[in-house]
Structure 1
Amino acid sequence: MATLLLTTLGTAIGGPLGGAIGGLIGNQIDARVFGPKGREGPRLKDLTISTSSYGQPIPRQFGRMRVAGSVIWSTDLIESKQKQKGRKGQPSTTVYSYSASFAIALSSTPVDRLGRIWADGNLLRGAQEDLKVGGTMRFYRGFGDDPVDPLIAAAKGPLAPAFRDCAYVVFENLELGDYGNRIPAMSFEIFADGGDETVSLARLVPAAVLPPSEPPLAQTRGFADEGGALASTLAAIDQVIPLVCASGHEGLTLATRALPEGEVMTLPPQLARDDRERDENRVRQRAGVPARTPAALRYYDEERDYQTGVQRASGTREAGRELMIDLPATLTAGGARQLANDSANRARWQHETVTWRIGELDPRLTPGSIVRQPDAPGYWLLRSWEWLDRGIALELERLAPSGGAPRASDPGQNLPPTDLPIPATTLAAFEVPPEAGANPAQPLIFAAASATNSAWRGAALYAVQGTALVDLGKTGSQRAVTGVLEAPLGPSPALLFEPGAEAIVALVAADLDLAETDRDGLTAGANRMLIGGELVQFLHAAPLGAGRWKLAGLLRGRGGTEPAAAIGHGAGAPAILIDDSFVPLDPVLVPPLATSRVAALSTGDTAPVIAPLANAGLSRRPLCPVHPRVDSAADGTRTYRWTRRARGQYRWEDSVEVPLVEEREAYLAGFGPVDAPHAVWQVDTPALALTAAERAALTAAHGPGPLWARQVGTFDRSPALLLANLT
């Protein structure tokens, strides 16, 4: 009855807001007259997903919240396909990828700023405001002068809506490969209307009459008003944070219940005892059954990424089903525990009421005032007053004494998704020695892309042709294990396993790993690392911290790279682990020339990352001949001989001829510097015969010098093998 009456009265005095406050006052009176009953306020929601239903209300958001939002505009999925070359002899495949553009409304009230964004539980946008996948994002704060989004305007034309007075986000060409090629379930961290502070009634009910120094709602860091009757929202708050609703000469006022600043007014003594006893009996009849003590509070836990949390009041466990309060607010665990304790403490005291009869009403006494009795301890709330024929009856409710100091509380374990900054791409392009069975005519050109952390999602590769970039496909999200030599690696004859040899390598990322192997693993080709132009195998790998590794037990000059091993490498030489993370490059677009360049571009790159082709021609260059020897005849003729090797044929089987691999067998022998010889001979067998007179003529004309031989391959010449020094 009081609810209906005061709702009507409040509407007449203060309009819709007055009706809401009047209804709240009526609820409080009815609860005291007819006994306590359950109140239905805004329900606490678990983390929901974005919806796109017509008629779905867009809630008002206050403070810091995590919201799902509503999809208000979207395009169809955009399909793109790309043919990618297979890795290490695998067939090429056609890869389809999808993206979409869409807009999601977040709040019907302005939003100061946008924080993190979750998609399918993973971070789509981190705390550093970086998108983890490809695409662009635009954020509109929800003011009346927000412009029309250009993408929506292009799609809808002159009738494109601006969605003013609604905070929303627009994603343009958001890549969906990480989300099953569909728009993912998204939620947004928003900071609305003073989101770095606590929420106040002035923001929640801007049309209400509030005290000049109205404090914020205790412990409340954010609040979601999902719509519906304002009275139900205020009633939900009143369960945890008591509100005082009163009507007076200023109209309907609303405030949180708190002790006034300064001295609390003490009531004058009561009138005759008989009148007091009659009033006290009437109050006991109205009091009804004491309210159940709320045992727990459900809320949004700020310390657990706004997931639903529960804090229980101390000492409230009872038999049967416990009374739990839902508050759609963002709180800390300690703040929620304090509110739960305060609610339970108030419930234990709120049934203690007194009617205080006085003869004259002080104008400072109004419903909602907090007073003291002259002959009783504690503070009392003046709920209402009534004019009687013999004085004025004040209805007082005992305020709960302080519950003591706040108690610490644990929000529980949180497993937040990794929030790493999107790193820039590191890129290397190179040729590698051929493996057994490889096509001898096919250049083995690869790209190795990596980054400093696992947030890197891959990059697009391009061949640099003048000022143009020609598409080469994508790297995929697997990072290559790359780095540099931290200390020089000396020369090696590359003949035997070197158990005492060591190399210090600094990888590009601390979370990249190297593994150990055994000698059987070395024989099978494990742990191969390209250092400069040399292929090295290592037996042991020991981490030194911060991405630094010590490689020990080296097998140098593998795959015919003995010439590079004989020179050694300085600090800073590139080091790349040979594994399946490499991307094969088309030799038509990236020819095996030292002038070829490759570019990479990823989400974390502000400009294309360009790398020159290293070891150009290595995969099709014949191997250096070996085993130089000389036969001398009685007439002084010397026959210089050598043994050929073949690309990809590194296992020398007994009694098996090494295959030629090249189109024909041919060698170039020379005397003097390799780059500018004094004399050359072309032969088709691995032998060169020089008489004593020929040798004497060479030294007489040019002086002492080296005699060498190179194999002439289909595409290149091998490094030179020293046969002898002619003197």
Structure 2
Amino acid sequence: MATLVFSSLGTMLGGPVGGAIGSLVGRQFDSALFGPSARQGPRLKELAVTTSSYGQILPRHFGRMRVAGSIIWATELVEHSELQGTGKGAPALTTYSYTANFAVALASRPILGIGRIWADGKLLRGAEGDLKAGGTMRVHTGAGDQPVDPLIAAAEGERYCPAHRDLAYVVFEDLDLSEFYNRIPSLTFEVIADERFDLQTVIGEVIEGIDASVPLDGMAGYSSEGSPATDLEVFEQVMPLEIDAGGDTLFIARERRQEAAITLAEPAAATGDDDFGGGAGFTRRRAPQSDRPAAILRYYDVGRDYQASVQRPSGQPAPGEPATLDLPAALDAATARMLIERTARRVDWSRDRISWRTSELDPGVAPGALVALPGIAGLWRVREWEWRESGVELALERALPTGADAAPLLGSDPGRGNPPLDVPLAETRLMAFELPLDGPSGAPDRARAFAAASGTSANWNGAALYADRGDGQLLPLGASGRTRATIGTARSVLPAANPLLFDRGSNLLVSLVDPDMRLAGADTRQLADGADLALVGEEIVQFAKATALGNGLWRIDGLLRGRGGTEAAVDTHGENESFALLDARLTALDSGTLGSDPSRQVVALARQDTEPFAAPVLLGGITLRPLAPVHPRTVMSQDGARTVSWTRRARGGWPWQDEVDVPLVEQAERYLITLGAFDAPLAAWATDTPSLTIDAVTLTRLAMLAPGSALHVRQQGTHALSHPLLLCTLP
């Protein structure tokens, strides 16, 4: 008796005459297909994570697949330390970071390259090949002549380092682990193994003397973890395969290679008690319906980053527990829906069975052959035959009519995924400045330096900040953090205005570094509480209204000018000045490390930046500089003497309270009054009270010496002089 070697595949070997030879040839293919080991890998599973264990199966991948791989080499984590805050009076802080060196094996056959990489579900490498974490990556495609990896060779010694030829793997060198809780993350890789592949690619690499040029339409990728027989069984679930092992070559095709169906002779009658059909010579029956009809197809959906997905056929579910077909292939939803629809229709037709007895020997009537029966419609496929005394008995099943398994035009939905954004890393942008003393919470003898670090898009992971004191040496200031400050460029020139009045007539156009950034207005109470503070050039302003003009351009109106003691800058604006929103997203800097040199800069460098971004420190010294006095007054006495007086202000004392003197934050109250130029005054006075009396004789002499000269007063603080206040002009 000759039967199907692979009964689940629906195909067979030679015919009645060549059956003996065919079965012998079939045995050699049995050994090649099934292999000596009975161990099989999983068919389909949720996306696995990178592991490292001895004896783990390393699959063969075809097309494009997302795989986990296996770690085959690694070193201990590398610790990096950086000392920060070494300025005078500042506490020293040592920060630690860790990197990893390791190799991950991906495929047991050569590949073309690597696409995207996911780490803990986030993109570690984008489709454009950009690595989104610090470090480098090298891809070894598994070529037969690939060299050893230099990092592994340096660590292990070249004589102990294999080249892993015919094995595709990647090596990470100094991969930054700061975003993965200082551990090697769970990695999955998009392996690009072939541009195109078919069944011959999958089976032909393992078995010689095979012809399996079967197109795998709609399959973007496939992973093989078992024997070739397992692969054939997997594909046969959704596409019937015909196998012919009657010769020296194993032929596998979607349809048997026959020019036409073989017409059988009339059935032969039998008289034996155990013979079927009796005088008719044949019997026809319908096989019982499977108690587990194929109703679910699981696959990897390319539209959902290769996540496991399911599709079901249309129609009312059949009785019984539905069977799930696992197809470890990358498909789109439409292809998967078509495959399960065809499978469900094909199974129902094959339930029609006929047992047929013939007295003629035809070598072409072999298991898998298509035959036609006299007096019975349709085509039939030979499943098995047996040569008995009463004739050749054939077991037949109904072959599908043309188009019977054609899937209707039905919609398919893979479900909504939540893929991580794959956008280029943003470029770093930076502003650096000092800010005025912050009342009781600030240290009056220490500068308040800040950096407004940001990126040109939301895909910005922060930057390392350094201080350049003017000598080119970079001193670490720490990391900026990932929160982006709102910064941009002023596209119009802010006109001069009175800092004592609410400026309703002026407005400013601001272009933010990222069009997705936003500004918000504030009401009067919020302005009084310090909302919407912004630095424009070297003037601090507040704005009550912000209007979006599109593409990151904003217009701000309703301005309060010269805030925080910057009234001297209200008439110094120029074109393309920097703009920064002064809020909680600023990064505090160590002023000791930054120094006080006028040419000092803050430098930012992120891993995606091609070169560092440097910014000067604006508002230099404003924290320690006293505020300029206000409210000048002049009184002439009867004897010709002139008394000038003023009202002092104190750093950090921003609330103006009636009848309450602002506390002084300087070591002593002192003032310097000068006549004429500041660098070469005609006369100078020092006082520790907010007034000065010039007698008539001195006043007359100075008026004759330098008529029209201006008299200014500046407060002498602990660390600096304030800006001058014009008291009067001599006649």
**What TM-score do the two structures reach when normalised by structure 2?**
0.86
Inter-partner Cα distance in structure 2 for 1:80 and 1:575:
35
Inter-partner Cα distance in structure 2 for 1:362 and 1:693:
140
Inter-partner Cα distance in structure 2 for 1:97 and 1:9:
69
**Residue deviations 1:86-132 (CA, integer Å, cap 9, x gap):** 9xx99876544332221111111112121111111121222222222
Aligned to 1:550: 555
CA shift for structure 1 position 269: 6.0
**1:572-611 → structure 2 map (5 Å cutoff):** 572-611=576-615
**Further displaced range: 365-374 or 46-55:** 365-374
User: 2:31 pairs with 19, 23, 43, which one?
Assistant: 19
Aligned to 1:333: 333
Inter-partner Cα distance in structure 2 for 1:525 and 1:279:
105
2:57 match: secondary structure? coil
CA shift for structure 1 position 701: 4.4
Q: Does 2:224 align with 1:265? A: no
Cα separation, partners in 2 of 1:278 and 1:420, compared to 1, 3 Å: farther
Q: Does 2:229 align with 1:217? A: no
- Whether contact under 8 Å (2:293, 2:321) holds in the other structure is no
- Whether contact under 8 Å (1:11, 1:19) holds in the other structure is no
Aligned to 1:630: 634
Aligned to 2:716: 712
2:646 match: secondary structure? strand
**1:4-403 → structure 2 map (5 Å cutoff):** 13=25, 17-21=29-33, 42-82=42-82, 94-158=94-158, 159-194=160-195, 197=196, 199-206=198-205, 207=207, 209-211=209-211, 214-227=213-226, 229-255=227-253, 257-258=254-255, 264-268=259-263, 270-271=265-266, 274=269, 289-291=288-290, 293-315=293-315, 317-354=317-354, 355=356, 361=362, 368=368, 379-381=379-381, 383=383, 397-400=397-400, 401-403=404-406
Matched to 1:580, the amino acid is A
2:338 match: secondary structure? helix
**Residue deviations 1:629-648 (CA, integer Å, cap 9, x gap):** 10101232222222221211
Cα separation, partners in 2 of 1:266 and 1:279, compared to 1, 3 Å: farther
- Whether contact under 8 Å (1:17, 1:208) holds in the other structure is no
- Whether contact under 8 Å (1:42, 1:225) holds in the other structure is no
2:234 match: secondary structure? helix
CA shift for structure 1 position 322: 0.8
Aligned to 1:412: 415
Cα separation, partners in 2 of 1:673 and 1:162, compared to 1, 3 Å: same
Cα separation, partners in 2 of 1:416 and 1:514, compared to 1, 3 Å: same
Q: Does 2:728 align with 1:724? A: yes
Matched to 1:242, the amino acid is P
2:525 match: secondary structure? helix
Inter-partner Cα distance in structure 2 for 1:298 and 1:148:
39
Inter-partner Cα distance in structure 2 for 1:564 and 1:539:
20
CA shift for structure 1 position 279: 11
2:61 match: secondary structure? strand
**Further displaced range: 686-695 or 331-340:** 686-695
Matched to 1:103, the amino acid is A
2:468 match: secondary structure? strand
Matched to 1:530, the amino acid is L
Q: Does 2:438 align with 1:426? A: no
**1:479-628 → structure 2 map (5 Å cutoff):** 479-499=484-504, 501-565=506-570, 567=571, 569-628=573-632
**Further displaced range: 473-482 or 582-591:** 582-591
Cα separation, partners in 2 of 1:92 and 1:657, compared to 1, 3 Å: farther
**Further displaced range: 508-517 or 267-276:** 267-276
- Whether contact under 8 Å (1:220, 1:329) holds in the other structure is yes
1:265 match: secondary structure? coil
Aligned to 1:654: 658
- Whether contact under 8 Å (1:135, 1:174) holds in the other structure is yes
Aligned to 2:273: none
Aligned to 1:664: 668
Cα separation, partners in 2 of 1:106 and 1:16, compared to 1, 3 Å: farther
2:623 match: secondary structure? helix
CA shift for structure 1 position 296: 1.4
Inter-partner Cα distance in structure 2 for 1:150 and 1:279:
80
**What TM-score do the two structures reach when normalised by structure 1?**
0.87
- Whether contact under 8 Å (1:668, 1:681) holds in the other structure is yes
Question: What 5-or-longer segments of structure 2 have no aligned partner?
Answer: 7-11, 14-19, 271-275
CA shift for structure 1 position 241: 1.7
CA shift for structure 1 position 4: 7.8
Identity of aligned residues (%): 43
- Whether contact under 8 Å (1:628, 1:723) holds in the other structure is yes
Cα separation, partners in 2 of 1:282 and 1:192, compared to 1, 3 Å: farther
CA-atom RMSD in angstroms: 3.5
Matched to 1:80, the amino acid is H
Question: What 5-or-longer segments of structure 1 have no aligned partner?
Answer: 24-39
CA shift for structure 1 position 410: 0.7
Aligned to 1:27: none
CA shift for structure 1 position 396: 5.0
2:237 match: secondary structure? helix
Matched to 2:558, the amino acid is G
CA shift for structure 1 position 493: 1.1
- Whether contact under 8 Å (1:62, 1:222) holds in the other structure is yes
CA shift for structure 1 position 268: 4.1
Inter-partner Cα distance in structure 2 for 1:283 and 1:611:
92
- Whether contact under 8 Å (2:298, 2:309) holds in the other structure is yes
Q: Does 2:460 align with 1:456? A: yes
**Further displaced range: 140-149 or 380-389:** 380-389
**Further displaced range: 459-468 or 351-360:** 351-360
Matched to 1:480, the amino acid is A
Cα separation, partners in 2 of 1:421 and 1:676, compared to 1, 3 Å: farther
Cα separation, partners in 2 of 1:440 and 1:186, compared to 1, 3 Å: same
CA shift for structure 1 position 384: 6.0
2:303 match: secondary structure? helix
**Residue deviations 1:167-198 (CA, integer Å, cap 9, x gap):** 1121222222222222222111111122xx35
Matched to 2:479, the amino acid is K
Inter-partner Cα distance in structure 2 for 1:551 and 1:22:
75
Inter-partner Cα distance in structure 1 for 2:415 and 2:399:
32
Inter-partner Cα distance in structure 1 for 2:374 and 2:709:
121
**Residue deviations 1:529-557 (CA, integer Å, cap 9, x gap):** 12211111223334443333333332221
CA shift for structure 1 position 515: 3.8
Inter-partner Cα distance in structure 1 for 2:190 and 2:617:
45
- Whether contact under 8 Å (2:534, 2:541) holds in the other structure is yes
